[in-house]
């Protein structure tokens, strides 16, 4: 009984200490992922029903969206870089994949920068290395450089006759020639944050950007067999530079 009382007293003392103004508290951060089309939220409930118009004027629907995020790293004002383990294969049909981390505890400090990799970098993009991704049929063909997809965006668009046609906008390693491959991942780096208290960081993907800037994507020309199309893969990488943004909510 005495032991319990003592423990309780110690716990209270410890908590009390943490609440002191001169003792900086840990920073608890959650990181979520969400998707939009030029600001309008996109969820699986839009699949096959909601129509979007891309930059080139094609009317399209989405039936599938999966993408991979890895190497999420937070940086604080002391110069520490804290990398979060693992990766998320975001699948719009699975709500569980929208949370990269929930209530991760970071040492006290001001977190002013976040970076992450869209897809896998060269070091992590190892052929067949991740059983869960293999099970999700996320592999990228060996003859195209191997490793894994970065994104699968699929649906239908209306062709010039107004008839629905299928598109499959798949992104991964770019095959420049026989046995010649170019890493095609994107490092997103945002350094205008000021997080010194518990917060949720939302990583937002604007799907419309994949069709927009700098390459106006023509779905009539580029709708399928894109995985082995070097130029298409590079255009995706260029357009992908602006698809991600960050929004911070304080908890």
Which residue lies nearer to Cu ion by CB, 4 or 135? Answer: 135
Which residue lies nearer to Cu ion by CB, 106 or 230? Answer: 230
Q: How far is the CB of 154 from Cu ion (least distance, A)?
A: 9
Q: What are the tokens at 171?
A: 């992104």
Q: How far is the CB of 143 from Cu ion (least distance, A)?
A: 13
Q: Which residue has the tokens 């304080």?
A: 250
Q: How far is the CB of 227 from Cu ion (least distance, A)?
A: 5
> Which of 188, 121, 186, 167 has its CA nearest to residue 148?
121
> Which of 161, 160, 133 has its CA nearest to residue 146?
133
Strands 87-91 and 99-106: unpaired
> Does residue 119 contact residue 32 with C-beta atoms inside 8 Å?
no
Q: How far is the CB of 141 from Cu ion (least distance, A)?
A: 8
Beta bridge partners of 165: 157
Which residue lies nearer to Cu ion by CB, 92 or 199? Answer: 92
Which residue lies nearer to Cu ion by CB, 76 or 149? Answer: 149
Question: Rg (Cα) of the chain, in Å, rounded?
Answer: 22
Residue 92 φ then ψ, to 5°? -60, -20
CA angle 128, 150, 220 (to 5 degrees): 125
Q: What are the tokens at 133?
A: 């991704």
Interacting residues with Cu ion (CB under 5 A):
170, 227
> Does residue 81 contact residue 75 with C-beta atoms inside 8 Å?
yes
**Nearest residue (beta carbon) to Cu ion:** 170
Which residue lies nearer to Cu ion by CB, 25 or 144? Answer: 144
Q: How far is the CB of 111 from Cu ion (least distance, A)?
A: 35
In angstroms, the CA 148 to CA 142 distance is 9
Which residue lies nearer to Cu ion by CB, 71 or 170? Answer: 170
Q: How far is the CB of 122 from Cu ion (least distance, A)?
A: 19
Q: How far is the CB of 114 from Cu ion (least distance, A)?
A: 28
> Does residue 22 contact residue 29 with C-beta atoms inside 8 Å?
no
Which residue lies nearer to Cu ion by CB, 64 or 113? Answer: 64
């Amino acid at each position: 009984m005495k032991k319990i009382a003592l423990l309780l007293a110690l716990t209270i003392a410890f908590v009390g200490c943490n609440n002191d103004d001169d003792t900086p508290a840990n920073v608890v951060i959650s990181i979520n992922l969400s998707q939009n089309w030029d600001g309008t939220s996109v969820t699986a409930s839009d699949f096959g029903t909601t129509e979007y118009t891309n930059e080139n004027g094609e009317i399209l629907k989405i039936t599938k969206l999966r993408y991979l995020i890895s190497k999420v790293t937070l940086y604080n004002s002391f110069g520490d870089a804290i990398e979060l383990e693992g990766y998320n294969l975001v699948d719009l049909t699975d709500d569980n994949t929208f949370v990269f981390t929930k209530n991760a505890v970071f040492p006290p400090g001001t977190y002013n920068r976040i970076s992450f990799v869209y897809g896998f970098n060269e070091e992590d993009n190892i052929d067949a290395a991740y059983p869960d991704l293999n099970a999700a049929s996320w592999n990228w063909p060996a003859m195209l450089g191997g490793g894994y997809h970065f994104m699968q965006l699929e649906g239908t668009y209306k062709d010039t006759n107004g008839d629905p046609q299928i598109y499959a906008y798949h992104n991964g390693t770019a095959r420049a020639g026989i046995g010649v491959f170019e890493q095609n991942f994107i490092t997103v780096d945002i350094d205008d944050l000021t997080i010194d208290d518990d917060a949720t960081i939302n990583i937002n993907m604007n799907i419309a950007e994949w069709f927009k800037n700098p390459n106006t994507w023509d779905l009539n020309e580029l709708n399928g067999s894109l995985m082995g199309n070097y130029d298409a893969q590079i255009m995706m990488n260029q357009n992908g530079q602006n698809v991600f943004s960050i929004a911070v909510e304080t908890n």
